[in-house]
Every structure is written in C-alpha cells, then in structure tokens.
C-alpha cells in the first residue's frame, strides 16, 4: 500500500509546483503589461530573470563589437583590465597625454579626467570625532535606504526632505551623501555641517571636492559603505535632494514586485537612445575625442532604485568600466557590464514642469518627481496627506 500513497503524494507535489510556476508567470505577465520594459536596448538578459555576470572581456557587452573608435574612452575600455588600485593618478596622466585636444576641454572635465580613477577617499569627520552615522543593526535593517545626493551648502533642501518624504517611516532609513564642506572658492561650511551631523546623524561625508562631476564618487563610496555597515538592505533609492518621493507609494510598489524582478532591480525613468551632447558650453558636453557612440540604457540620475544585493556586483563592475563624467550614465554602463538592463516605470518623472509643483492630485499616483524647491516640497507633502484628490 505504500507505493500508491507515495505516487499520490508525488503527484500532489508536482501539481502544487506547477501551480506555483503558473501563478508567478501570470503575475509577471500582468506587471509586464502594466509597466513595459525599456525600448531600444540591446538583446540580452531580460530584467525580469537576469542574474549579474561579469565576463573577462567587457568590450562586446558594452557595445564595442565593430571597428574600435579612436576616442580615448573607447580605446581605454577596450584595453582596460582593471582600474589601478595604487597610483590612481596614472589613468588621468594617460588621458592628458593621449587625448590630442585635452587642453581645449572645459576645466571641470579636465579636472575630472585627471583624478577619475581615484575612488578611495576617507570619510570627512569633524576634528577629534568619529562618524556620526551608525551602522545598521541586525534587528533594524532597512527595507529601503533613501540615499540622497546633496552638497554641503544645500541645507534647506536636506531639511525639506527630513520634514517630508524622508521622515521616519517603518522600513526606511535616510542618509545624505556629501563631499567635503571645505569647498573651492566658497564659504567654509565645516562648522555648520558639523552641527548638522551631530544634530541629525544622517550625513555621510567624504573628503573630496563636492562638484557635479564627482557625483559618481558618492555612488561608489556609498556602495562600499554598505558592504561594511549595512550589507543586507533590500533596496536603495539613489536620488537628488531636489526630488519629491511619494514614499508610501514607492514602498507599496516594491513590495508587490515578483521576486525575480526584485533580485536584479534597476528602476526609474529610463532613457534608451541618448547620445552625447557635442555643443560646447553645457554641463553635459562630451568631446568627440573622448567618447564615441551612443549611451547605454540608463535610469535618470534624478532618482532610481536598485536592489541592495547588487552593491558588491556594481563595485566589481566599476573597477573594470572606464570612468565617465556623468553618474547616471556611468551607472548604466556598470549595469550593462553585468548583463542587466533598467526597468522603466511611468511613475518616475525627472523633468517635472514648474507649473505643476503644487499639484497634489497630479503627484498622488506617481512615485518620484523633480525638480522641486524646498518650499514646494513641504507644501506638496502637507497637501498630499489630505483627501482633496
């Protein structure tokens, strides 16, 4: 009698397994219809099922499959094994020597390239004091880390975030990412930043010049910090301090994701066919002698979410992807190096029109908008809590 019973049990288990697979498949199909993935990305692993990988040769994965362009970044990426861990200035010296029109580059871009391979910076700490930022405890690991890129002088923006969407919500933790408060040609903000750090315990500061081209450093140093102090965080929102995040809606969305999506998540407003701006004078100008080709699919740096488990993978990729001056495009390159692509969500809007800055009905069904002033952020948050819409 045991054999028929065993067969019956086995049949029941197989039926349950088949039902589970069917439920997960139908769930992902419904989400795919609601939130279609980005168009124009190269064939490869789909964002719903991919696991990160890092091949020995990254050239093909990064799109360098035809004739190799002569631009410096393309040449450097083709021959790059890994960025130097010692004498990081060598990469910048090579850039200055090999780029024929290097002296014609904008000053900020020249300065970036001369030190772009330097990624190891100590935390900036008030004299005689340790860090004011605590590690995540085993019993208090955040589900969503709100990692806000700011600058030392933008106190009003940080305070608006603290009083609104960054305020204490179960499952979240707020951190601001800053460079040195001793800027170049500006006021000495060390006393103010020291007071703020002691008051709120939410400033991660590093000893590098806080300028737009160094935002990538904030990403990489945060990922390294997480490895030591908060390795089990589920999701990380990397966002600018002038964004408005509908935190409850974002948490609800993340909690409804299929597990296969959540494991390799890179979510935001996705650009799939962006190309370098060749007109000199703008912040996003890229000389043709530095980079040729189109950009990878990437999520706007105004705000995007990544899976916490990808932090060590992204650090490994960053060691083998040649530096690029724009943080969001560099993140896109690192994800592409891992064989992963971003997932677009219509609730991320990073070019929010100024005339809708105080429109809670328009924001209620969104996840993130920017830019907003500190005053508009506070006004919108207060009115979003009401029943008007």
Question: Rounded to an integer, what distance in angstroms lies between the CA atom of residue 153 and that of residue 228?
Answer: 28
State the pLDDT at residue 6.
52
225 three-state secondary structure: helix
Q: Which two tokens stand for residue 110?
A: 């020249």
> Which position has the higher pLDDT, 305 or 130?
305
173 contacts 142 by C-beta, under 8 angstroms:
yes
pLDDT band at 120 (very low <50, low <70, confident <90, very high): very high
Best-predicted range by mean pLDDT among 56-60, 270-274, 381-385? Answer: 270-274
The residue among 80, 71, 131 whose CA lies nearest residue 105 is 71
pTM given for the model: 0.86
Domains of the chain, with CATH numbers?
A: 37-134+141-344 (3.90.550)
- pLDDT tens for 10-40 read 455 544 444 443 433 433 333 333 333 333 3
For residue 47, pLDDT over 60 is answered with no
Report whether pLDDT(46) > 50.
Answer: no
Q: At what angle do helices 89-98 and 72-79 cross, to 10 degrees?
A: 130
């Amino acid at each position: 009698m045991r054999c028929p019973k065993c067969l019956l049990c086995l049949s029941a288990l197989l039926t349950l397994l088949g039902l589970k697979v069917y439920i997960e498949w139908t769930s992902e199909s419904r989400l795919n219809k609601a939130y279609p993935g980005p168009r124009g990305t190269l064939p490869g692993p789909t964002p719903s099922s991919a696991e990160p990988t890092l091949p020995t040769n990254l050239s093909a994965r990064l799109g360098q499959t035809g004739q190799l362009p002569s631009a410096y970044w393309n040449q450097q990426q083709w021959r790059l094994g890994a960025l130097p861990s010692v004498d990081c200035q060598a990469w910048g010296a090579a850039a200055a020597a090999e780029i024929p029109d290097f002296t014609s580059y904008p000053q900020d871009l020249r300065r970036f390239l001369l030190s772009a391979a330097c990624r190891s910076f100590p935390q900036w700490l008030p004299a005689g004091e340790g860090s004011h930022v605590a590690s995540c405890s085993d019993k208090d690991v955040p589900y969503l880390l709100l990692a806000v890129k700011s600058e030392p002088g933008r106190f009003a923006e940080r305070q608006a975030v603290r009083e609104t969407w960054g305020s204490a919500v179960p499952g979240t933790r707020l951190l601001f990412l800053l460079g040195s408060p001793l800027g170049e040609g500006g006021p000495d903000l060390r006393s103010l930043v020291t007071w703020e750090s002691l008051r709120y315990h939410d400033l991660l500061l590093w000893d590098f010049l806080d300028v737009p081209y160094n935002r990538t450093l904030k990403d990489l140093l945060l990922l390294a910090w997480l490895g030591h102090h908060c390795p089990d965080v589920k999701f990380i929102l990397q966002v600018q301090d002038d964004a408005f995040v509908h935190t409850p809606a974002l948490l609800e969305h993340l909690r409804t994701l299929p597990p296969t999506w959540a494991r390799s998540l890179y979510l935001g407003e996705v650009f799939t066919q962006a190309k370098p701006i060749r007109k000199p004078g703008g912040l996003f100008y890229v000389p043709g002698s530095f980079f040729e080709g189109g950009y990878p699919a990437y999520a706007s740096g105004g705000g995007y979410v990544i899976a916490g488990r990808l932090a060590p993978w992204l650090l490994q990729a960053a060691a083998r992807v040649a530096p690029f001056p724009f943080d969001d495009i560099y993140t896109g390159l690192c994800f592409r190096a891992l064989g992963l692509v971003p997932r677009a969500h219509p609730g991320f809007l990073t070019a929010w029109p100024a005339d809708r800055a105080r429109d809670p009905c328009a924001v209620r069904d969104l996840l993130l908008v920017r830019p907003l002033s500190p005053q508009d952020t506070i006004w919108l948050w207060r009115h979003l809590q009401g029943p008007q819409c």
